[in-house]
Structure 1
Amino acid sequence: MQKKAVLTFIATALCGLCAHSQSGQNHQAASQTPGNQTQAGSATINHKQQCLALKNTPIADTTITKAEWSNGEISTDRMSSLTGGSTNVLQAKPHCVVEGEIGARTGADGKHYGTKFQLRLPENWNGSFLFQGGGGVDGFVAPAVGSIPVRSSTARPALMRGYAVVSMDGGHPTPTPDFGADQQARLDFAYQSTGKVTTVAKQLIQKMYAAAPQHSYFMGCSNGGREAMMAAQRYPLEFDGVIAANPGFRLSRAAVAQQWDYQQFMKIAPKDAQGNKILANALTQADLNKVSEAVKNRCDARDGLKDGVINAWESCDFKAEHAGLSPAKTAALKAVMDGVRDSRGNPIYSGWYYDTGLNQPDWRAWKLGSSQTAKPDAISTTLGAGALTWYFMTPAVPNFDLNKFDFDRDTPKTYQTGAINDAVSTDLSSFRARGGKLIVLTGVSDPVFSAKDQVAWFRQMNADMKNAQDFSRLFMVPGMNHCGSGQAFNDFDPLTLLENWHGKNQAPERMIAQGKSFPGKQMPVCAYPKAAFYTGGDENKAESFECR
């Protein structure tokens, strides 16, 4: 496939995905007075006038392109399938909308680059700042509202709680991976754009309110979750709290794993009338339903209640052979779930937990897709394959034939990018020393970033840092796929947990959740390594479960 065709296909696939959301603690930084005015220190501020004046704020290497006062609605996050952002049109209270670009330049490939951002500054500011993570390979500026980055959450967005919220495009203008042809664009996507936008956003907040933020948080899912972990690891003095949901923190290895999955499934993919293998049919929906039911039959009751949720997911000893598939399909499923390995059997990326979410639409969308043509539409082959050849491989090899990816020879080509991109550090000493709090949450059934890998990192971080429980929590959500969805208790509010932990020193031991798959029920999601066990009483109530 030629370079132009590859990029067009990736962009088209991403646009198709776009078609596929409690109140927080209110820390008033300034006392409100009538007439859209705030008393901050000794200065009286008219917010609308201050907003419009931000258009002319001189900031080094930054152009402010928009500064407008808004009383209206905020459009849906059209990239919510990648960010976990809100799929609803939201009605906001009066606030300022600032947009701009940092570091505009012409790249080594002759294209325009710069980091674009959107900052929303509420009239009734609560004194806090939230950086909203992106998703996919970035390349777009989502509405800066600070929704809980799990599509199934109904918790109130940060902007509606009074936060100043910023979002960005990661340093390149389109949601395609061809920015990998430019060195600085790679660095911006990896982590540098976070530092740049944080600095500019805090300057604009100071200008708007004549006060600095009292609390600075970062919250994101998927690549935005990776950015969140990077915020704690590479900018430990800038953020007081971080929420990393389903983070692609070892993104370079996950990209290799996607090609492993593709190759394993293509071995058993049936052919159409023209002799083309159809990836989507490698495992039928009936096959996946069979696997999910077999997992439930083996492991569901281990938490004391057979209810379709495997809270004791870590003790589930299900094997591919238990599903009763054909030998060829069993072998392919086992190879995928055991994780990518080189020819000597050494693991390249983690394996995966068997869980109830393997038959859900999001798992299929990432692993198999639905295309009945020779051109697969699984996200791993649209977004993932392009990212591997353009960005993760150094140098970029855009015309690389991924059918021939060799896990011995070609995996080392991703190491350079992995070194700047992967949020694998376990040294969070500076972050902790200044009172930082870290909440990581992920779906046990995530099909793209392994929950098993997330647990391994968290365990290692706890081993490397004494008393890590003083500042970090991991919440594993059984049945949940990527950034929400799945058959799960996937409607929860980690931002309020962070507010209460950082602001009131209330360390979260459980996160109360509900979900559309289980109407009228609530369940605690327990801080790892504990899990929710049924103790008796009304099984619809969270208090009928204990964390142990």
Structure 2
Amino acid sequence: MPGADHSRQSFAVWHRAALSLVLCTIALSASGRPAAAEAAFPSDCARLAGLKIPTRLIGLPSGEATVTSASYTPAAPAKATSSATPDFCKVVGTIAPIDPAAQLINFQLNLPAAWNGKLLQYGGGGYNGTLVSGLAPLRDAAPDDALPLTRGYATLGTDSGHQVASFAPDRIGEFGLNEEMLINYAYASYKKVRDVAVALVDALYRKRPSRIYYFGGSEGGREGLTMAQRFPADYDGIVSVVPVVQLSMLFQSYVPNNLPQFDGGWLNPAKSETLARFVADACDDLDGLRDGVISNYLTCQPKVSLQGLRCQGGTDTGDSCLSDAQIAAIQTLHAPHPFPFAMANGITSYPQWLYGNEITPDPQRMTITRWVMGTAPPAQPIDVATVSQQWLYGVNAIRFIVTRDDKFDVRNYRPENFRARIEEVSRLLDSTNPDLSAFFAHGGKLILRENMADLAQSPLAGINYFQSVVARLGQSTVDASARLYVSPGSTHTGPGTSVLGGSAIPTMVDLLGPLDRWAGDGIAPADTLIQTSKDTAPPFALKAARPMCRYPDYPHYVGGDKAAAESFVCKKSMP
């Protein structure tokens, strides 16, 4: 399939050839002003409904795109549960598949009346399958940060070409049985909706975006890296937060993480809290401040000796200790997972997870319970009410993407028995190509963020990827176009809390502003950005601030107000 060779220049050629077919359905206002003129905006928005975007305007093999609805939405003030929005045109549409058995790609494009000339594409999460509206706050946004739409961005999202509601809750990976739907999930849908959005932007505003950005976390972070690798001329900037960069390997690594739980290795929530406090005792003061947050993330790892938690005799005697089977389960999580053959770009293992902040007060973010252990040991068949997210995702990946056998017992899974298929899936899903030279040469800028208390994926995967880019292109080249920041204590979804008191720690930061200034004005982000913690209700009082440092640094406390960013300096974390 076409990839990086589909440059913005070649797309523009196709676009100009067919643009008259698109624009003929959009009338100019009586004064001859563009269709986005203020007075004509609501009616010009409505005229987008029913518009069809021909396949020649989509840079990958595709069916036709259709605008199913276009509705003018007047400005709305901020409410307790939602941010302020401006006057905008809400455009919802579909892109038809080539395979009639594949599902539609759904997309939503939001076009503000006061447009800043830029397009921001939101990434998805998990297995996707739910339409990303482009109307939500960005990852890690503070409660008083204006929405991108309110800042003037046209915003875009998709469901990646399948609808999770059409599958049973324990079969969320079933879309993987259809190869076109899997390819759409891997990379194709994001490129397709991007091309359709550019045509629609041009149809309404009579000009193309001056810059196009991708902003996503987790699966959405992988999507952003995928765009830089496969379509380097199509995007001017990317923010990639906790990217599941080795996605196929991550899904497979979930299996060995969970297998010990079938043999007595499961930890209940009380034992998970015991583990979290044990890790804090070993590592908390390595950053100069005993506050229940592991900030010196690399130095911490060799300091944790689980034998200090061993129950007498190695058998389970209560929640204050771990049995030998439970220690083995935790050690499995904190060890690399090797593969018997190389995956895409020569990678042979998935890195270990890190210790630190294994619990939070919010059950939805209680990291080791939610992601690794579940609220009960894993079982066959899956109980979606109690299962860990790792086991749910891992079982679905093996059954529906690798073996394509929904009856396969994942406990018997051996990668070597499915080598050809695994190599194929790795080429699709693993966004590990270190050659970003075309993206950087185009002027593309990349900001990555890794959360060091992430138990959905190993933060070392993104760190290793960034280092592979440095090894391939050189430090000076990477410094001119990319940044990697680390957020100690942050869970996969971003927020983090003190293990000792449960209070929120500073994890909020705006990364869109720094990206835009870098890509648009050439102003590189600072080596240190400021993360905050704020009240969720007006006037959004600042509770605490702390530096977010470039890798491999961490915020080290040097004295003064513990809630003030100036009381910390960035120092190197060493294993």
Note the 1:54-93 alignment, pairs <5 A.
54-60=48-54, 61-71=64-74, 88-93=81-86
Map of 2:388 onto structure 1:
378
Once the two structures are TM-superposed, the CA of residue 89 in structure 1 deviates from its matched residue by 3.7
> Retained in 1: the 8 A contact 2:294–2:489?
yes
More divergent stretch after superposition (37-46 vs 363-372): 37-46
Report the counterpart of residue 531 of structure 2 in structure 1: 513
Q: Tell me, in whole angstroms, the C-alpha distance in 2 between the residues paired with 1:196 and 1:512.
A: 35
Deviations 1:167-206 (A, max 9, x none): 0111123363222222221211110111111111011111
Hey, what does 2:312 align to over in structure 1? none
What residue number does 2:88 align with?
95
**Whole-angstrom CA distance in 1 between matches of 2:368 and 2:491:** 7
1:403 maps to what in 2?
A: 411
Distance 1:412 1:257, change over 3 A: farther
Partner of 1:364: 369
Q: Output the CA distance in 1 between the equivalents of 2:378 and 2:248.
A: 28
Amino acid at match of 1:500: R
| 1:274 alignment partner in structure 2 | none
Aligned mate of 1:333, from 322, 330, 335: 330
Return closer, same or farther for 1:151/1:290 CA change in 2, 3 Å cut-off.
farther
Q: Distance in 2 between matches of 1:183 and 1:136?
A: 18
Identity over the aligned pairs, expressed in percent?
27
Residues of 2 paired with 1:126 and 1:232: CA distance? 23
Partner residue of 2:10? Answer: none
Cα distance in structure 1, aligned partners of 2:339 and 2:209 = 48
Local SS of the residue matching 2:43: helix
1:303 alignment partner in structure 2: 287
1:79-137 per-position Cα deviation (integer Å, ceiling 9, x unaligned): xxxxxxxx944442210011111124554xxx342211000001111111100111121
Distance 2:149 2:47 in 1: 21
Instruction: Kindly state the Cα deviation for residue 439 of structure 1 after the two structures are TM-superposed.
Output: 0.8
Quote the residue 1:48 is aligned against. Answer: 42
**Counterpart Cα distance in 1 of 2:291 and 2:126:** 33
**3-state secondary structure, aligned to 1:338:** coil
The one of 495, 499, 507 equivalent to 1:490 is: 507
Q: Which runs of 5+ in 1 are unaligned?
A: 1-34, 77-86, 270-281
Which of these residues, 547, 551, 574, is aligned with residue 524 of structure 1?
Answer: 547
Listed as ranges, the matches of 1:120-159 within 5 Å are 120-145=110-135, 147-150=137-140, 155-159=145-149
Shift of 1:163: 0.6
Provide the aligned length of Structure 1 versus Structure 2: 485
The TM-score, its normalising length taken from structure 1, stands at 0.81
* 1:319 alignment counterpart: 304
1:5 equivalent in structure 2: none
Matched residue type, 1:158: P
**Deviation string, structure 1 residues 250-306 (Cα, Å, up to 9, x no partner):** 11001111111110222215xxxxxxxxxxxx1122322222222222222222222
| Equivalent residue letter for 1:303 | D
1:323 deviates by 4.9
Contact 1:494 1:511 (C-alpha < 8 Å) held by counterparts: no
Q: Distance in 2 between matches of 1:357 and 1:472?
A: 30
> Whole-Å Cα distance in 1 between the matches of residues 190 and 330 of structure 2?
38
2:35–2:44 CA contact under 8 A, matched in 1: no
Amino acid at match of 1:535: V
Report SS of the residue matched to 1:68. strand
Alpha-carbon distance in structure 2 between the residues aligned to 1:494 and 1:47: 30
The match for 2:61 is: none
Q: CA RMSD in A?
A: 3.0
| Whole-angstrom CA distance in 2 between matches of 1:74 and 1:189 | 35
* Rounded Cα–Cα distance in structure 2 between residues aligned with 1:343 and 1:228: 29
Amino acid at match of 1:337: H
Contact between 2:78 and 2:85, CA under 8 Å: does it hold in 1? no
Residue in structure 1 matching 2:484, options 459, 474, 488: 474
Counterpart-to-counterpart distance in 2, 1:516 and 1:365: 25
Matched residues in 1 for 2:32 and 2:134: separation?
23
Are the equivalent residues in 1 in contact too, given 2:160–2:189 (CA < 8 A)?
A: yes
Q: 1:35-87, CA deviations, whole angstroms, 9 ceiling, x for partnerless residues?
A: 9x9966998872112211112434111111001101266999xxxxxxxxxx9
Q: Is there any run of 5+ residues in structure 2 with no aligned partner, and where?
A: 1-28, 55-63, 166-171, 310-321, 342-346, 498-504, 536-540
